[in-house]
Structure 1
Amino acid sequence: MSELMDVLEIHHYPQFMDKCCDLINMEWPRSKTIRLRTLKMSCDNFPTCLVLVQSHEVIGHSKITPIPSLPLGCFIESVLIHPKHRGKGLGKFLMAKTEDHAKRRGMKTVYLSTKDKQGFYSKLGYTECEPVQIYGGPVLSRQNVKFVSSNKINTHSNINIPAQSASARASTTYIHNSVTPPPPPPPPNPSNSNTLVTCSASTYMKKYI
């Protein structure tokens, strides 16, 4: 492994932001404006974006995000190695540096989620755990994961209606009392599709550091 390789906090090296943005968008395409905005949120106290740099070339990225409900825990996400540099042990190197960074910030446990890299993370000492919520709100449990047939998804469901003012409620009541409500929507057409949609398809894992 080259001595010129290092893992850097991107907010201290903004010259790498454009290259890092392009690398991440190779794997997970997104608006460059939004991606750069996320990278610019990196700071010393989390969230922190780390870049793996070799000879001024960005070849890897990871992000450490705080977990509001777990002050001594953090979430590692967006772990990525440039395709032409894979298979050289750089993923393991980047993860070790990322965990070390979290440990220096006082973290005791690191969490992550993956869809198809369970074997890789198991070799690094991670074990499966219950899902964690990193953006606030209740913690999801595997028992609460529901499978929904794709041909039964209704565009009228799961719509959040904001709280109404008193005048709006009065207006709504008047309308409901004076106008016949429309008939319910027709049932979905039968289909032979067996496609399933889940609210969580990832495996959550953790490691004590």
Structure 2
Amino acid sequence: MGSVSEELSLVPLHQRPELMEACAQLLGEEWGKSRASRLHSLQRSSDAFPTCLLLLQSSGPAQLPASEKSPCQLLGHIRLSRVAGHPCSLFVESVVVPKALRGQGYGRKLMEAAERYARARGFRRLHLTTHDKQHFYAHLGYTLAEPVQVMPFMSPGISAEVLRVFSAHPRPAVSTPGTLVPGTNKRSLPSPDVPPPPPLPPQGCSRAAPATTCGQSILETPHRDAKGVPIFWMKKDV
């Protein structure tokens, strides 16, 4: 359990299974989907990732009705997953705070606590996507980035070595022009199917720029989600 303040704490959902229903309801109010689908996803939380993290308070805030208060009040949810090809990175998703509590800083506290959680476990970078909250994340230090591949579900028993092999991008075996082919005295010719190398990026385009990257800015993005809606990819070193 990572302490956030005297009253708040960040805990993995699988350590507090009695909060499963409350968490499913919070996610359902924001994104819909069936209760069964939400519970199935939440039940996959583990220390091996994906990990669902809950921001909790020992007693409910005064703004909430008495009927919604409990000895342990759910203030937010966030999920962390592994990133293919980036063993030191995690992907942030399903960030949500109850509607009645928004605008009071709980979103920032949730993100900062998740960053500490990731850093304490040896991860050094967080990735995320957003359709319309890019300014919020930019205020927290996230910058525009290129897309990455998320690994949403991994077996708890998978080793770090297997993970690295799975995450590596395979390289096609291509004969080098002018090399000898075993068993012959002839030199191989370049394969006609090998594509030319990609062009170099335009001069002056920096991936580290805080507000812009190649072809995108904090207001415009060339990336689209599965439904064709513009989506911003962002990252932060933690």
Question: Structure 1 length as normaliser, TM-score?
Answer: 0.68
Residue 79, structure 1, aligned to residue 95, structure 2: yes
Give how far 1:104 is off. 1.3
Task: Give the whole-Å Cα distance in 2 for the aligned partners of 1:93 and 1:123.
Answer: 13
Task: Give the whole-Å Cα distance in 2 for the aligned partners of 1:201 and 1:107.
Answer: 28
Task: Give the whole-Å Cα distance in 1 for the aligned partners of 2:31 and 2:10.
Answer: 21
Q: Identify unmatched segments of 5+ residues in structure 1.
A: 148-196
Aligned to 1:41: 44
Residue of 2, 6, 23 corresponding to 1:3: 6
Q: Would you say how many aligned residue pairs link Structure 1 and Structure 2?
A: 156
Q: In the alignment, is the contact (CA less than 8 A) between 2:144 and 2:233 conserved in 1?
A: yes
Give % identity. Answer: 38
Q: In the alignment, is the contact (CA less than 8 A) between 2:128 and 2:233 conserved in 1?
A: yes
Residue 201, structure 1, aligned to residue 230, structure 2: yes
Residue 122, structure 1, aligned to residue 138, structure 2: yes
Q: In the alignment, is the contact (CA less than 8 A) between 2:93 and 2:129 conserved in 1?
A: yes
User: Aligned partner of 2:235: which letter?
Assistant: K
**Residues 124 and 34 of structure 1: CA distance in aligned 2, closer, same or farther (over 3 Å):** same
Aligned to 2:125: 109
Aligned to 2:73: 57
User: Aligned partner of 1:5: which letter?
Assistant: L
Give how far 1:105 is off. 1.5
Task: Give the whole-Å Cα distance in 2 for the aligned partners of 1:4 and 1:86.
Answer: 18
Give how far 1:115 is off. 0.7
Q: Identify unmatched segments of 5+ residues in structure 2.
A: 60-71, 153-166, 170-213, 217-221
Deviation readout 1:53-109 (Å, 9 max, x if unpaired): 222121210000111221111101000010111111111000000111111111111
Give how far 1:4 is off. 2.8
**Residues 109 and 146 of structure 1: CA distance in aligned 2, closer, same or farther (over 3 Å):** closer
Task: Give the whole-Å Cα distance in 1 for the aligned partners of 2:223 and 2:7.
Answer: 48
**Residues 146 and 26 of structure 1: CA distance in aligned 2, closer, same or farther (over 3 Å):** closer
Aligned to 2:24: 21
Aligned pairs for 1:89-108 within 5 A: 89-108=105-124
Aligned pairs for 1:178-189 within 5 A: none
Give how far 1:142 is off. 7.5
- Secondary structure at 1:121 match in 2: helix
Task: Give the whole-Å Cα distance in 2 for the aligned partners of 1:104 and 1:59.
Answer: 22
Task: Give the whole-Å Cα distance in 2 for the aligned partners of 1:208 and 1:23.
Answer: 28
Aligned to 2:85: 69
Task: Give the whole-Å Cα distance in 1 for the aligned partners of 2:40 and 2:84.
Answer: 21
Task: Give the whole-Å Cα distance in 2 for the aligned partners of 1:104 and 1:81.
Answer: 23
CA RMSD of aligned residues (A): 2.6
Task: Give the whole-Å Cα distance in 2 for the aligned partners of 1:101 and 1:60.
Answer: 15
Task: Give the whole-Å Cα distance in 2 for the aligned partners of 1:47 and 1:134.
Answer: 10
- Secondary structure at 1:88 match in 2: coil
Task: Give the whole-Å Cα distance in 2 for the aligned partners of 1:72 and 1:115.
Answer: 25
